[in-house]
Amino acid sequence: MSEFINENPDVIDSDELPSRKENITGDLLLSGISNETTLQRKKLLLSIDNSKSKVLQNIELLDKLLLINPPELTSDEESIEESDDEDDAYGNTDPKDVVDTQEIYDLTAHISDPEHPLSLGQLSIVNLPDIEVHDCGDPNKMVEVIIRITPTITHCSLATLIGLGIRVRLERALPPRFRITILLKKGTHNSENQVNKQLNDKERVAAACENEQLLGVVSKMLLTCK
């Protein structure tokens, strides 16, 4: 897959991504708080109960809710989702009727990375701003979905597998009127075109889905989906 060595200067230095995100989550307790109110809330909560899990999660959640630009928060997509849930207006909406970029993100961000114990959202492989949905609103017409994924390293041989996982997930979850295009974000991979071509070749994807070994790996990746 990486026969082509196209040195690309724009490439983000790889394996930093996952660990950097992890740190953010880890340090959340005391550092990285830019907002005084948040800090106060946090202190308050801590003074009430500083036993871990639940409270910490609540703090995180509060923190996220208070942040100005939640879509950027790829390190913890759950909070984004939950904040949606809290909005009553969304409560009973049939996902088939309203599929926006957030919906596509929620469907794909929880897929596990095939080699890290983290999700594609946590690793910023799938990012909300890199999802496009073109829906004319007519349920009898097709909807185009374009997802640009950012592999963690430029020669990541698992990019195809990740793309396949995303495609399988979306094809299973979305109605047939959706046309899904999965692309590697420009400059993120040495053999971008080859991977893109493969990920969007219907026949190859169909054949891959009949390959039990491959399907086993994909199913494992999808176990963490909600």
Partner 1 sequence: MSLKLVKSLKLQNDKLWSLDFAHGLLATGSTDRKIKIISVKDKDHVKLVDVLDDTVHKKAIRSVAWRPHSNLLAAGSFDSTVSIWSKESFDDLEIEDDDEETNDSTAATDERTLEMDLLAIIEGHENEVKGIAWSHDGYLLATCSRDKSVWIWETDETGEEYECVSVLQEHSQDVKHVVWHPTLPLLASSSYDDTIRLWKDYDDDWECAAVLNGHEGTVWCSDFEKMLDLTEETCNDRLRLCSASDDSTVRVWKYIADDEDGQQEWECEAILPAVHARQIYSVSWGPNGLIASTGSDGTLAIYKETENHDWEVIAKRELCHGVYEVNIVKWIDVNGKMLLATGGDDGCANLWSWDE
Binding site for partner 1 (CB under 8 A): 140-142, 175-177, 179, 197, 201-204, 206-207, 210
Closest CA to 28 of 60, 53, 58: 60
C-alpha–C-alpha distance, residues 93 and 101, integer Å: 15
Q: Interior CA angle at 173 toward 169 and 174, to 5°? A: 115
Strand order in the sheet with 143-149: 131-134, 143-149, 178-184
Q: Which is nearer to partner 1, 20 or 179 (CB)?
A: 179
In the complex, the smallest distance separating the C-beta of residue 146 from partner 1, rounded to whole angstroms, is 12
Q: Which is nearer to partner 1, 152 or 196 (CB)?
A: 196
Residues with Cβ within 8 Å of residue 71, at least 6 apart in sequence: 80, 128, 129
In the complex, the smallest distance separating the C-beta of residue 141 from partner 1, rounded to whole angstroms, is 7
Residues with Cβ within 8 Å of residue 37, at least 6 apart in sequence: 66
In the complex, the smallest distance separating the C-beta of residue 14 from partner 1, rounded to whole angstroms, is 29
Q: Is the dihedral of CA 59, 61, 62, 66 positive or negative?
A: positive
Q: Which is nearer to partner 1, 93 or 211 (CB)?
A: 211
C-alpha–C-alpha distance, residues 71 and 84, integer Å: 12
In the complex, the smallest distance separating the C-beta of residue 134 from partner 1, rounded to whole angstroms, is 11
At 144, give phi and psi (nearest 5°): -100, 130
In the complex, the smallest distance separating the C-beta of residue 210 from partner 1, rounded to whole angstroms, is 5
In the complex, the smallest distance separating the C-beta of residue 196 from partner 1, rounded to whole angstroms, is 11
Hey, what are 18's tokens? 């996952």
Q: Which is nearer to partner 1, 129 or 175 (CB)?
A: 175
Q: Which is nearer to partner 1, 72 or 201 (CB)?
A: 201
In the complex, the smallest distance separating the C-beta of residue 176 from partner 1, rounded to whole angstroms, is 5
Q: Which is nearer to partner 1, 43 or 186 (CB)?
A: 186
Hey, what are 177's tokens? 């009127």
Hey, what are 91's tokens? 């409560």
The three-state secondary structure class of 98 is coil
Q: Which is nearer to partner 1, 97 or 210 (CB)?
A: 210
